[in-house]
Chains A and B, each alone.
Chain A
Amino acid sequence: MKEYDVIVIGGGSAGLAAALEINKHRKSKILVLERDAELGGILQQCIHNGFGLKVFKEELTGPEYAERFINELDKSGIEYKLNSMVTKMHPDKRVEYASAEEGFVTIKAKAIVLTMGCYERSAGAISLPGKRPSGVMTAGAAQKYLNIDGYLVGKNVFILGSGDIGLIMARRMKLEGANVRGVAEILPFSGGLKRNIVQCLDDYDIPLYLSHTVTEIIGENRIEKIILSEVDNFVPIKGTEKEFEIDTLLLSVGLIPENGISEACGIKMDSKTKGPIVNESYQTNIDGIFACGNVLHVHDLVDFVTEESRKAGQAVVKYLDQTLDQSSNYITLQPGKGVSYIVPQRINQKNLSNSIELFLRVTNEFKDVQFTVTSNGEVIKSMKKKHLAPAEMEKVKLKIEDFEHIKDQITLSVEAL
C-alpha cells in the first residue's frame, strides 16, 4: 500500500490552497486526488469575473484564479491524480479511490484534508409540486453545460432561488440571448451577495420576486409553464398566482457540503453547516482528518476559501510535526440568538497564537445591531453592525487576551444596540 504524509481529497480551490500551504512550510509527500479531468473544481465553469479581490488584489475570472494555483502546484512538484474518485475513507486514514488509469486502489496517509466542496440542492430535495418534465435543473448544472460543454439549456428562463449561482446564471443566460423572465426567492431577502443583485439583475432589468416561490411545474415532456405564488412565511397565498410560459427553470436553492465519504467514515457533522464539526485547527473528530473550504461550510467568496484552506494547511503541518496539541479540553462555541452557525465549533486554546477568526452566518436580516460574545453569562466582547444578512458570511475576531475571561463555552448572538 502506497503511503503519503497527506492526502488531499479534491483538487478545487480549497484542496489546491491547502496542498500548496503544506508544501510551503514542510517538505512532505502530498497527493491531491481529483475526480474531474482537470484541477480547479467549480472555478473552471465560473467564467465571470470577481474572483481574487482579497487574495490577489485584482479581479480575475474563475479559470484565471484556478490557473494561478494550478501553475504553482505544477512548479511545486506536488503529486496529483485526475479522474480519480475517492469512494471510501477509513478512520485509520486509508483512502480508496477508483481511476480509469489505475483501477481500484487503496492508499494510506498520516493526515487527510477533506476538500470535496459542495453540491447544489436539487429540485427533488425541495419537493416542487407538479410534474417532472425536462428543462428543470440546478443553475450550476446549466452553467457547466453552457461554459464547459458549450450547450444552451433553454431560451425562455425562470430562476427559482436567489443564490449567487442563480444570479450569475440569470446574467449569463441573458448574454447568451435567452429571455430571462425573473428570479424568485421564497425568503423576504435575497440569498445572494448584494453586488450580484446589482450587477446580474438590476443592470439587465431582470425582476427579483422576493417572498415568492414556484407552486406548480407544468409540462409533459419539456417544462412549459410555472405557477409563481407569493408566500407568507413559506405558505403560498391564494389569489397571488402568476403564470410564466418558459422552457427552462433553473434552481439556485442552496449549496450543501459534499460529505458522503466523511459521514460514512464516522466524522461528526454540524446539522446547521452540513459540514464536519471542527476545532480551531480545522481538525474533525477523527485525529488527523482535517476539513476546509465548502465541504466545511459554504463560503461567499473563493478568496475566503483560500484563506481558510491555508490556515488548515498550516495546522496540518503542525500535526505532521507533532506540535499540535491534541488534548480535548475544548471551549465550545454556541450560536445564540440570531446566529445560525459558527465555524469552528470548538477551540483548544493551547493551539491559538495571537487571535482566532470565527466565521458565522446570521438567521435573518438585521439593521443596526451588535454581535455579543458571552461566556457563561459574562459579556466578553461586543461589536456594532450596521447591516447583517444570511447571505453574507460574518467574521468575529477573538484575541488571545479575550480568552482570559472565557471558561468552557462561548455564545455568540445578535443583540439590539
Chain B
Amino acid sequence: MNTKREERKREILVLFLFFYLLGGFYMYDVIIIGAGISGATIARELSKYKLRTIILEKEFDVATEATMANSAIVHSGHDPKPGTLKAKFNLLGNRMYKQMSTELDIPFMECGGMVLATSDEEANLIGDLYKRGIENGLKESEIQLLSREEILELEPNISDLVLSGLNLPTTAVTFPWEAAIANIENAMDNGVELALETKVISITKDNFFTVKTNKKTYQGKVIINATGIFGSEVANMATKASFETRARRGEYYVLDKDVKVANRVLYPVPTTKGKGVIITPQYHGNTLLGPTSEFVPFEDVSKTTAAGLEYIKVNSLKLLKDIPFHKVIRSFAGGRATSSTEDFVIEESSVEGFINVCGIESPGLTAAPAIAVYVVEELVSKRLELKSKESYNPYRKKVIRTIELSQDELNELYKQDRNYAKMVCRCEKVTEGEIIDAIHRNCGATSIVGVKNRTKASSGRCQGGFCQSEIINILSRELEIDKTKVVYSKTDSYVLIDTTKGDFE
C-alpha cells in the first residue's frame, strides 16, 4: 500500500514538473507575429540581447506575402511626405542596407535610380520632388536634376516622352525574400526560435500575454505585431486598434535575364496612388515591371489580372521605348498593407507591451533595418531590460553562389563537395550543392518555392519545367519525406499525388 501511494505521489510530482516546465517552455520574452521583412529584421535585432524570442508565422515558409511581392528596391528616401515615419525610416534604412547586406551576405546592387517626367505637368513636379528629397535629408550629392540629354546618356532606352528627371544615386536593389530569410537565419543562429504554419487565434493579457494558435499556446512578455495586411486584425485581438490596415495589390511582370532594358531603377513621377509602375533591374539580371496599385479583399492579393498586367504594359512603355514583352517569364501579385493613418504605425498600443509594426508598405523594405533598431531600442526597452549577448554573431554563414565563382574557385569547391558540380537548374545555373545547403540552414527551404527563393533554382525561363522533378527528389531525400509529401509552396500544395500502377522504386 505504502509503496503504491508513494508511487502515486511521485507520478503527481512528475506530472506537476512536466506541466511547470511545459509552461516555462512556451514562455518568451518577445513573441513576434509575422515573418516578413519587418518581423525578420526585428528578430535579428532582438537576438543581440539576452532575450528569449520566437517568431510565429502562419504560412508554410517565411517571407511569403508583401516581402515576396514587391519591387526589391532600396529607395533613396526622396518621395515620402516629409515629417512622416516613412520619410524618417526610409533614409535611415537606406544608409544601413549595405552593412546589413555585407553581414548577412544578401545580394545588394548599387545601381542608382532615376525619376522620369513624361509630360509637362510631371516635369513641373520634378522641382517639388527635388525639394522634398532635400527636406527628407538627402544630401546634394544624393539627388540631382537631370535634363533629357543627361538621362539619355545614362539610359539610352528611355521613351520619346521623357522630358527631364531626377538622379538618385543612393537607390539600390536588394533581393527581398533573401533579405528576410537571411535576417531570420541569423536571428536563429543567435538563438531566436521560429514556428511555421502557426496561426494566431487569440491574444489575452494577464501578467503576461497568452497567444493561442492553431498549434500550441505561447506566453510572452512583449508582443510584436508585424502581420502586414492582417495588422489591424491581429491588433484588435489585444485591444481596439487605433488604425485600420487594408490590402493593396501590386502586380508585376518579370523579364528574362538575357534582356537588359534599363541600367538603374526608373520611376515615373509619383502620384497620390504611390510610386507608380517602376522599371527595376534585378540583382540576378532579370527586370521587374510593376506594380499596379489597387485596394482588394485580402483573399485576392495574390491574384494576377489581365487588366492589371495590361496596365503595366501601357505604363512601362511611357518610360521606355522598347520592352520585349515576349521575354516575360512570369507574372505575380502580392498585397501590401496600407494603414488608415497613411503612414507606418510603429507604436506601443494602449496595451502595455503590445507593439504594432503595421502598415509597412513602401518604403517598408528599405526602412526595415532602421525600424527594427527603433522598435527594440525605444519600444521593447521600455518593457524589458536589454542585456547584450557576448555570443552574438552578426554574420551569416556565406552562401555559395556558383554562378559568381571563377572556374578555379569552382574546382576548389568541387574537390570538397561534388554536389557543387551537379547542375540542377540549367536556366539559372544552380547546383545540387547550393540546394542542399539552402535546405539545411536555419530557416531552411522545405518547399519547391522555398528552394527557388533561396537559390533561384527554377526561377528562370523554363520556370522549373526541367528541374522541378529533380528539386522534388532532393527535397524528398534531404527532408526524409515521401515525394508525394513535397509541397510546391503552401501547406498541402503537393505536386505529385500518387505513384502510378506498378513497382517503380
Contacts and interface: CB of A to CB of B under 8 A. Distances in A.
Q: Do A and B bind each other?
A: yes
Interface of A: 35, 83, 85, 87, 96, 98-100, 102-104, 106, 119-120, 122-125, 127-135, 137-138, 140-141, 144-146, 148-155, 176, 215-216, 220-222, 236, 247, 256, 260, 263-264
A260 B258 contact: yes
Nearest to A259: B258
Contact of B422 (A83, A131, A222, A236): A83
Interface stretch (B167-175, B349-357, B490-498): B490-498
Contacts of A122: 329-330, 461-465
B62 interface: no
A84 B407 CA distance: 15
The 7 closest A-B pairs by CB, nearest first: A150-B504, A134-B488, A124-B330, A122-B463, A103-B414, A134-B493, A151-B496
Nearest to B310: A127
A234 B423 CA distance: 38
Contact of A104 (B302, B411, B462, B466): B411
Contacts of A120: 462, 465
B258 A123 contact: no
A134 B489 contact: yes
Given A122-B465, A260-B427, A134 B304 contact: no
Given A141-B469, A221-B491, 16 more contacts: A85-B423, A85-B426, A98-B410, A99-B421, A104-B411, A104-B421, A119-B461, A127-B304, A127-B331, A128-B304, A129-B306, A134-B494, A137-B495, A151-B484, A222-B493, A256-B461
A155 B498 CA distance: 10
Contacts of B488: 133-135
B494 A100 contact: no
Contacts of A148: 469
26 contacts: A35-B423, A35-B426, A85-B426, A87-B429, A98-B410, A99-B421, A104-B421, A119-B462, A125-B329, A127-B330, A129-B304, A129-B309, A130-B303, A132-B302, A134-B493, A134-B494, A134-B495, A135-B488, A138-B465, A151-B496, A151-B500, A152-B497, A220-B490, A236-B306, A247-B497, A260-B258
Contacts of B304: 127-130
- Chain A interface, DSSP helix/strand/loop, else mixed: mixed
Given A104-B411, A150-B502, A151-B496, A131 B303 contact: yes
A328 B250 CA distance: 51
Interface string B443-484: 000000000000000000111111011000000000000011
B497 A155 contact: yes
A96 B496 CA distance: 35
B492 A222 contact: yes
A263 B258 contact: yes
Contact of B463 (A98, A124, A149, A247): A124
A158 to B, nearest CB: 15
A153 B495 contact: yes
Contact of B328 (A98, A124, A145): A124
A150 B500 CA distance: 5
Given A103-B410, A130-B303, A131-B302, A151 B499 contact: yes
A310 B362 CA distance: 58
Nearest to B473: A149
A95 to B, nearest CB: 12
B254 interface: yes
A220 B421 CA distance: 36
B310 to A, nearest CB: 10
A142 to B, nearest CB: 10
Nearest to A85: B423
B468 A137 contact: yes
Contacts of A141: 464-466, 468-469
Contacts of A134: 487-490, 493-495
Contacts of A264: 258
Nearest to A248: B497
A270 to B, nearest CB: 13
B177 to A, nearest CB: 15
B74 to A, nearest CB: 26
B419 interface: yes
B90 to A, nearest CB: 30
A243 B487 CA distance: 26
Interface in B322-341: 328-332
Given A104-B407, A106-B407, A222-B494, A140 B465 contact: yes
Contacts of B330: 122, 124-125, 127
A137 B302 CA distance: 18
B419 A100 contact: yes
Given A124-B254, A153-B497, A104 B469 contact: no
A145 B496 contact: yes
A145 B469 contact: yes
Contact of B414 (A104, A132, A150): A104
B421 to A, nearest CB: 5
B431 interface: yes
A120 B306 CA distance: 22
Contact of A96 (B306, B407, B502): B407
A236 B305 CA distance: 13
A242 B426 CA distance: 38
Nearest to A146: B500
Contacts of A127: 253, 304, 309, 328, 330-331
B499 to A, nearest CB: 6
B441 interface: no
B418 interface: yes
Interface in B406-443: 407, 410-411, 414-415, 418-419, 421-423, 426-427, 429, 431
B487 A151 contact: no
Contacts of B498: 151-152
A128 B461 CA distance: 15
A263 B327 CA distance: 14
Contacts of B497: 151-155, 247
A152 B302 contact: no
A119 B328 CA distance: 15
B465 A103 contact: no
A103 B417 CA distance: 10
A168 B500 CA distance: 17
Contacts of B415: 103
Contacts of B332: 132
Contacts of A83: 422
Given A132-B332, A146-B500, A221-B491, A100 B421 contact: yes
